[in-house]
Amino acid sequence: MKIASIETFTLPPRWLFVRIETDDGLVGWGEPVLEGRAASVAATVEELSDYLIGQDPGRIEDLWTVLYRGGFYRGGGIHMSALAGIDQALWDIKGKALGVPVHELLGGRVRDRIKVYSWIGGDRPDETARAAKDAVGRGFTAVKMNGTEELQYLDTWDKIDRCVANIAAVRDAVGPNIGIGVDFHGRVHKPMMKVLLRELEPFRLMFVEEPVLSEHIDSVVDVLRQSPIPIALGERLFSRWDFKSVIASGAVDIIQPDPSHCGGITEARKIAHMAEAYDVALALHCPLGPIALAACLQIDAGCYNATIQEQSLGIHYNTTNELLDYLVDPAVFTYAEGQVRIPSGPGLGIEINEEYVAERAAVGHRWRNPIWRHSDGSFAEW
């Protein structure tokens, strides 16, 4: 069996799919997108296809190694996202060829289902308490929200007070036993991060995500180690080498690699197992489409330290298409009691509606994240 063709599809709302077909007609799907850089990733997939065409798709580890190391310059969001989608599609092919789900090829399941959380707030959270209550009414046992708007290095207490009031309202709405994740989105610099972590201690949060940008972790290690709130980050780290020092620092309690950004199933599992050796939990990042979620669930199935799974159903980015739109059978992601079952079908366990993919690819997208500025005109982290 050889790889015969590789094709990408830019799809609303902000996704990129890759379709790999073999010479005997087997098709594997992956999701190699970096949000806001879909065209760049698609171009990288096309460049990597020069090596892939004619290769045996079953030699996943070797293909991954060549695609990572063979270009001399390596790593970063665009390269690793392109490699991620290709890797997902190769695992999909291998599972289909053997008639088993990917997790069976990786040692089998340690769990049958995993807890998921629902997003309840946009970039500037509004009515988040009502949204949280609605999510709990739909059976979710955990929610996540953006914690704050843009913050200067030194900012005013009214912004801190708004953040605290918003989170307090959500806690009051859902009660003491619902998990609340608060995402700082890397918007907060070290001085204000120290203030916010202290102010949020009373709310018994599930975790605080990206309290500072990952590149600043080494300067706040002591603060993060001492915080009683679990610290999560990792969506902007792209390989086991990026994660190595972060995990070893002891500053992070939950890592969040994205299998559509960090080299796919192959690399995400290596990162997860490295974290397990430090008793660090895994909560894979996935505000993306159905292929990305399916890949995450195949990893979650076999990683003991996997604790909760992000998913994009109802997320504010999905204004034109939803998570389930591109699936032949949307029931594969049925949520019950705040959990989702691990897909048991061959490969990634989902079937893509190719006719609808072709239809929506004609629309495509040019999604870009907002550009924010502080009141003085300087750039603000989004």
The residue to which tokens 């009031």 are assigned: 165
Residue 215 CB-density burial (10 A; 0-12 exposed, 13-18 middle, 19+ buried): exposed
State phi, psi for 148 to the nearest 5 degrees: -150, 160
User: Strand 27-30 vs strand 15-22: parallel, antiparallel, or unpaired?
Assistant: antiparallel
Residue 185 a catalytic site member: yes
What are the structure tokens assigned to 274, written together? 């490295």
Closest listed residue to residue 2, CA positions, set 63, 71, 85, 82: 63
* Residues 381/186, Cβ–Cβ less than 8 Å: yes
Catalytic residue among 189, 261, 285, 365: 285
Task: Measure the CA–CA gap between 81 and 278, rounded to whole angstroms.
Answer: 26
Residue 285 a catalytic site member: yes
Task: Measure the CA–CA gap between 210 and 168, rounded to whole angstroms.
Answer: 20
What are the structure tokens assigned to 291, written together? 């292929």
Task: Measure the CA–CA gap between 378 and 382, rounded to whole angstroms.
Answer: 13
What are the structure tokens assigned to 84, written together? 């991620």
What are the structure tokens assigned to 6, written together? 């590789």
Please count the CA atoms within 13 angstroms of the CA of 54 that sit on its side-chain side.
Answer: 2
Catalytic residue among 185, 189, 261, 365: 185
Closest listed residue to residue 114, CA positions, set 354, 255, 259, 282: 282
Closest listed residue to residue 193, CA positions, set 154, 158, 232, 226: 154
User: 235 - beta bridge partners?
Assistant: none
Contacts of 18 (CB under 8 A, 6+ apart): 6, 7, 8, 9, 29, 30, 31, 32, 45, 85, 86, 89
Q: Annotated active-site positions, please?
A: 185, 285
